[in-house]
Amino acid sequence: MNAIHPSELLRALPYVRRYARALTGARDSGDALVAAALSAPLPDVAPRLALYAAVARTATSTQSSTGPDPLQRNLLLLTALEDLTVEDAAVILDIDRAEAEAELERGRAALRATAATDILVIEDEPIIALDLKRLVETCGHRVVGVAASEAAALRLAMEKRPGLILADINLGRGGDGSNAVARIQQAMTVPVIFVTAYPERLLTAEGVEPAFIISKPFEPLALAIATYQAVNGGRVPVA
């Protein structure tokens, strides 16, 4: 068993929870996965990697054999969303690097075949909003509106009924993106990805936290993976 100092555990835990939520496609099931993983002995690797490995192992043990490929899903999330190297991802998943690279490429190919959805972007910085729009359209999705304020976000959401929301937290004079999302979700059920330079404001383990958080600056692949996971409830297509 890997004895992890409590301070190391606390530093890594918020990000491991983010990974688990993206893996399962929901906040509550992701947190339950982390709790289950922590109840078992941790593998004898570096502390942060040990936590990721425990979550991945627990998720795989409860995955239906007829479901989507869990190895590709884990590799995509670990390398793109969590910004780990392929080497670290291979250690976490207990495979060699060559296999990790091959399965990662298959997973990326599968992402390119995903179904499109309508997306509402909530972002007050025009350049970032345009960048988000370009990236999600490259993934095959449709941007049905860009809102720079809480009021505009609520209005567009009611009009367009998007299948996914990409939201920043800090909208400057336009208000708070998390407040806009909360108001929208009172009227409809829609998955949300927060794309923010302030992830610590959402990874506090206090109150209601979102399932999907991407830190700015973000990698296009991370956005593509999170978009698929959010829309499909954690199900990744098999190449």
- Residue 67: pLDDT band with limits 50, 70, 90: very low
Instruction: Give per-residue pLDDT as tens, 155-201.
Output: 999 999 999 999 998 888 888 888 999 999 899 989 898 887 766 66
Cis omega (within 30 of 0) on the bond before 217?
A: yes
Q: Which of 76, 111, 146 is the last residue of a domain?
A: 111
Q: Alpha-carbon torsion 82, 86, 90, 95, what sign?
A: positive
Q: Which of 76, 96, 111 is the last residue of a domain?
A: 111
Query: Which pLDDT score is estimated for 170?
Result: 84
C-alpha–C-alpha distance, residues 123 and 185, integer Å = 17
Q: What is the CATH number of the domain that holds 23?
A: 1.20.140.160
Check whether residue 150 and residue 210 sit in a common domain.
yes
Check whether residue 201 and residue 136 sit in a common domain.
yes
DSSP summary character for residue 154: H
C-alpha–C-alpha distance, residues 75 and 169, integer Å = 28
Instruction: Give per-residue pLDDT as tens, 123-148.
Output: 999 998 998 888 888 777 889 999 99
Instruction: Give per-residue pLDDT as tens, 5-51.
Output: 677 777 888 888 888 887 877 778 888 999 998 888 888 888 889 99
C-alpha–C-alpha distance, residues 164 and 24, integer Å = 17
Instruction: Give per-residue pLDDT as tens, 75-90.
Output: 988 987 788 999 999 9
Check whether residue 146 and residue 203 sit in a common domain.
yes
Model's pTM, two decimal places? 0.61
Check whether residue 101 and residue 148 sit in a common domain.
no
3-state secondary structure of 206: coil
Q: Which of 73, 91, 111 is the last residue of a domain?
A: 111
Does residue 216 have a pLDDT over 80? no
- Residue 235: pLDDT band with limits 50, 70, 90: very low
Query: Which pLDDT score is estimated for 208?
Result: 47
Check whether residue 80 and residue 149 sit in a common domain.
no
Query: Which pLDDT score is estimated for 76?
Result: 85
